[in-house]
Structure 1
Amino acid sequence: MTLAQAQSFFDAYAAAFSARDMDAIVDAWTYPCLITQRAASFAFPDRDSFHKNVSSLDGFYVRQGVAKASGTVRQVAEPHDGVAIVEVDYELADASGQRIVAWPTTYTLRRNKTGAWKACFAIADGEVAAWAARGTPLGAKN
């Protein structure tokens, strides 16, 4: 995976969050998949379970005033054919473009049988820490 391919993938992924297109978000992943953070890991066996998770995350983002997501790929490594480790810097902004929160995330992507890149693993420590530092931890009802 080239840097340009990774940036294209994550541009589409961030655009899906901005558009609140949960189907496009879950289509960017392969199943089962895993999202891990320092305190816990969450395995999603199928598309439906992941859809429920990102829909809940979207509700949290809406309550925080998020209107736009962007992601800048910082680094790509392809340790094996068809496997990429991608570091992405995210930023979420309100409708006026003011930054709400930013953080880094590391993903592992795999090329599927049709040749498409799909995420299968993410380390969410950066996002968890960013929201906690803002005083609105992930999962907060506010």
Structure 2
Amino acid sequence: MAFEREIAAFFASYVDAFAKNDADAIAELWEPIGLFPSPNGNFAMEREAFRSHCVTLLDFYRQQGVVTPVGDLLSATLLYPQVAEARMAYRMLGEGGETVAAWDHIYILRRSDDRWRVTLTISDGEIAAWTERGALE
């Protein structure tokens, strides 16, 4: 199905941007303002603030020993002609290929300017994984 290939390609480029530590590329894959529901409350970030957040996040991953991010698309559902829901499984691998942390992530994407971009993510799984590892308090 063309839709599923598009979403898989989107997330391949998303994971690749993380692998290259490219905060600009990551931020460009998001709508100008992204929404972030979290266990501690919801917030939104404009693209430039999100780019800065990505720099901090990439630094955090390196500090935790992450060398290679791996992401697998678990599901993609077209909710409306220009809106999709996707679920990803992530594994952050260390230098020896060991799993440093793993979690599922849920995204809402919107097709705008003839390309998919993330509008909203629910990162409770990632927060729980890093908390369990003792990296977050």
* TM-score bin (small chain): over 0.9
- Once the two structures are superposed, residues 89-140 of structure 1 have per-residue CA deviations (whole angstroms, 9 ceiling, x without a partner) of 111111221110010010000000x210000100000000000111111xx7
What residue ranges of structure 1 are gaps of 5+ in the alignment? none
What fraction of aligned residue pairs are identical, expressed as a percent?
A: 31
Report SS of the residue matched to 1:50.
helix
Aligned-pair CA distance for 1:59: 1.1
- Map Cα deviations across residues 44-90 of structure 1 (whole Å, 9 max, x no partner): 1x221111111111111110011111111111111111100001111
Matches within 5 A, 1:31-42: 31-42=32-43
Instruction: Note the C-alpha offset of 1:42.
Output: 2.4
SS at match of 2:48: helix
Runs of 4+ aligned structure 1 residues displaced above 6 Å come to: none
What is the 5 A alignment of 1:98-113? 98-112=98-112
* Matching residue of 1:120: 119
Letter aligned with residue 123 of structure 2: A
CA displacement at 1:31 relative to structure 2: 1.6
Unaligned runs of 5+ in 2: none
> Structure 1: how far apart are the matches of 2:70 and 2:9?
12
Q: Give the letter aligned to residue 14 of structure 2.
A: Y
The residue that corresponds to 1:136 in the other structure is 135
Q: For the residues of structure 1 that align with 2:69 and 2:8, how far apart are their CA atoms?
A: 14
**Distance apart, 1:2 and its partner CA:** 2.3
Please say if residues 87 and 104 of structure 1, whose CA atoms lie closer than 8 Å, have aligned partners that are also in contact: yes
Instruction: Quote how far apart the aligned CAs of 1:7 are.
Output: 1.6
One-letter code of the match for 1:60?
F
The structure that is strand-richer by fraction is 2
| Whole-angstrom distance in 2 between the partners of 1:41 and 1:70 | 26
* Residue correspondences, number: 136
Q: Under a length normalisation based on structure 1, what TM-score does the superposition of the two structures give?
A: 0.90
Using structure 2 for the length normalisation, give the TM-score.
Answer: 0.94
Aligned to 1:69: 69
User: Contact 1:82 / 1:110 at 8 angstroms: preserved in 2?
Assistant: yes
Give the Å deviation of 1:40.
2.2
CA-atom RMSD in angstroms: 1.3
Structure 2 partner of 1:23: 24
Equivalent residue, structure 2, for 1:52: 52
C-alpha contact 1:16 1:24 (8 A) present in aligned 2: yes
